Structure 1
Amino acid sequence: MEPLLTAHNNEATSIAQLTAAQQKLYQWDKTIAAKHLYLIENKDTPYERLTTLKKHLAPLDATRQRDLIARYKALQTPPRGRRVEEWLRSWVEITNMCIAADVPETMGSRAQEDFLVACRTINPEYGTSGLRDLIDLEDAGTAIPSVEDYVSKFTTYLKRVLPLSTGLSSMAAELDVSKPQQQNKDGNKNGNKTKPQCPCGLKHY
């Protein structure tokens, strides 16, 4: 729902019929969600509208930050089944939103550390090695890669170590690629070796 031109000029049927100041106010109104337009009905200047919106909507920032913190904490537990790829994408999306909102849990290299700790659940060797490297970088005062970089590398790693998986969503244990199947060295219970089947489909032994 767009704001009405007549709200700025009773006789206006197009934006060209508004003065420069009225056009600015009209464009301003278009950027505001329809559900919030009632807040600025009697405010005539951009300053009045801005301060009014800030007064009423500022509490939503705290609510949004709490929501982001909850979503970020949920990332700490990797999903099981076929949702790892979605989980990896969420790491980038949610951490970027948290950083933009100045969420303390994602300041410095905390997000990178949390990601590597979570990676240990999927691949202990990779996660542990990554944490060691992160600590070395911190001790040396070297620039630390972004969360996007860590996610990208782990994605590539999973593609290589789990070549049989569908996308990146299956764990090694679920695919049973972590340990090859072993045949019974002793044959069947009678100690006889399993005899091959004839190409004709019958057993002649």
Structure 2
Amino acid sequence: MASSTIFDNHVITCASVILEKQSDWKLWYSMKKQYATVKGVWEYCNPSTTKAPPIIDNEPSDEASEGKWRKWEIKTNAQRATLKAIGKVNLEIMRTVACSKLHLITELDLDVHLRFKTLQDHFKITSQQQVLELSMLYMNVQQKPKNQSIDTWLNKYLRITSLCKAADMAEMKGTRPQWTFIKAVQAHGDADWSGQHFAVMIGCEEDIKDPPTLEGLINHYCWWISTKQLHTKTLGSFAVAQNVTPPTLPTPPSLAVAEPRPNKAKC
């Protein structure tokens, strides 16, 4: 019981979130669910269910046996404890909803389930909104920030495209994500790598072969960058040791990458 109380207090004091706008909903809901679960009453609060809180049983008759009275006492004590916990969840909701939004729930009596459901309907991000947000994130991640490392960029790219795939977005259909990544690498300045893989993708379409996956392209580019950096470092160290200025290598011709396009045939 002590550990539960400590955890309970930790949730309230260290992780409270004020629900005021849509972006607050996910974390706020998670914390309230955790709080109600610790109290043992989430089943009565969950907006996805309709389980009603317990009702205190009537007292047995005066003629009832001592055993029956004892059972009633045990049962009603448990019912009162549950109702008390639900009341605390209700207070926690009132305490963490912004004053400007309290009007949404103040007229709902003390129905904790209905309060959760009302707030969910008002604040929860819809599937359409989520897709729009992911589309914006996907568009932004295609442009690597100047001060961001390659590893950080590629990890973020993988994470966002994974979310886009989970949302079944059109941008993730066919070979569109592969073409988009190759174009993003070219925009970053690595035209030689993008040119090679542009040719690979074209070859797969013409020969009706399976193209490399997006994950495969990202992993290969990561390896290619590491090898390139190691080669440059080694060459530079050799030049310094020999007091020789390394020759300037000719810039490879730029090979434009076409706009992302779907497969002509299944590879």
TM-score, normalised to structure 1's length? 0.56
- Structure 2 CA distance for partners of 1:143 and 1:54, relative to 1, 3 Å: farther
Report if aligned partners of 2:142, 2:157 keep a CA contact under 8 Å in 1: no
- Structure 2 CA distance for partners of 1:76 and 1:40, relative to 1, 3 Å: same
Q: Distance in 2 between matches of 1:118 and 1:103?
A: 19
Shift of 1:12: 7.5
Shift of 1:53: 10
SS in 2 for 1:95: helix
Aligned residue among 215, 220, 225 for 1:158: 225
- In structure 2, stretches of 5+ residues that fail to align are 1-34, 45-52, 56-75, 83-95, 98-104, 106-110, 247-267
Q: Which amino acid aligns with 1:2?
A: A
Q: Distance in 2 between matches of 1:12 and 1:144?
A: 66
- The answer on 1:138 being equivalent to 2:205 is yes
Higher relative contact order (CA 8 A, sep 6+): 2
**Counterpart in 2 of 1:65?**
131
> Runs in 1 of length 4+ with deviation above 3 angstroms?
3-14, 52-59, 180-183
Q: Distance in 2 between matches of 1:112 and 1:5?
A: 48
Q: Percent identity?
A: 17
- The answer on 1:127 being equivalent to 2:194 is yes
Shift of 1:56: 6.5
* Count of matched residue pairs: 145
SS in 2 for 1:2: helix
Report if aligned partners of 1:75, 1:87 keep a CA contact under 8 Å in 2: yes
Cα deviation 1:34-78 (Å, max 9, x = unaligned)? 99xx898259xxxxx8xx999777862111111110011112212
**Counterpart in 1 of 2:182?**
116
How well do the aligned residues superpose, as a CA RMSD in angstroms?
Answer: 3.7
- The answer on 1:97 being equivalent to 2:163 is yes
Q: Distance in 1 between matches of 2:184 and 2:114?
A: 51
- In structure 1, stretches of 5+ residues that fail to align are 18-33, 44-48, 166-171, 184-205
The structure where helix makes up a greater share of residues is 2
Shift of 1:108: 1.0
TM-score, normalised to structure 2's length? 0.44
- The answer on 1:41 being equivalent to 2:86 is no
Q: Distance in 2 between matches of 1:12 and 1:146?
A: 60
